Amino acid sequence: MVRGGWAIRIAGASALGFALAACSGTLPGIEGKPPAPKIEMGGRWLLAASNAPTCGMSFTVAADGQSGDIRPEGGCPGDFFTSRQWAFQGDDLVINNHNSEPLAQLHFVGGRFEGKSISGLQITLARSLLPTN
């Protein structure tokens, strides 16, 4: 019976530990960084800004599925004609220029990305309905 008492105490302590971890939102040994959104980035997207024409951008996806390259079409607002790379950082999409400097950080809201460019320009990035040329 003494052995059984210890087994019950150990099992109870383990259950309490997992219950407390569940309350905190993380399990022991798991980092608190949110996962990147499950969004298929490959293909054509439209970048739009206030008082500016929209521009098409073709996104390719790297093997990691969390980054890739961008080919902007003509007429992009601001410095977005220099867009060359994208990557998820947490649950935000970061667009970088040809020097790997950030141009914008966007958050996925209501089926599209929204945010501001580094220069303060309010932008959206939405899936294009037109095929890539």
The predicted pLDDT at position 74 comes to 85
Tell me how far apart the alpha carbons of residues 43 and 129 are, in angstroms, rounded to a whole number.
10
Q: What is the pTM of this model?
A: 0.69
Residue 80: closest CA among 115, 56, 60, 109: 56
What integer best gives the mean pLDDT of the chain?
80
State pLDDT tens for residues 92-121.
999 999 999 999 999 999 899 999 999 999
Phi, then psi, of 21 in degrees rounded to 5: -65, -40
The predicted pLDDT at position 23 comes to 45
The predicted pLDDT at position 63 comes to 95
113 neighbors 107 (Cβ within 8 angstroms): yes
List, for the chain, all residue ranges whose pLDDT scores fall below the cut of 50. Answer: 1, 6-7, 10-30, 33
Residues 6+ apart with CB under 8 A from 67: 61, 85, 86, 87, 88
Q: What is the CA radius of gyration of the chain?
A: 22
Domains along the chain with CATH numbers: 1-32 (no CATH), 43-127 (2.40.128.10)
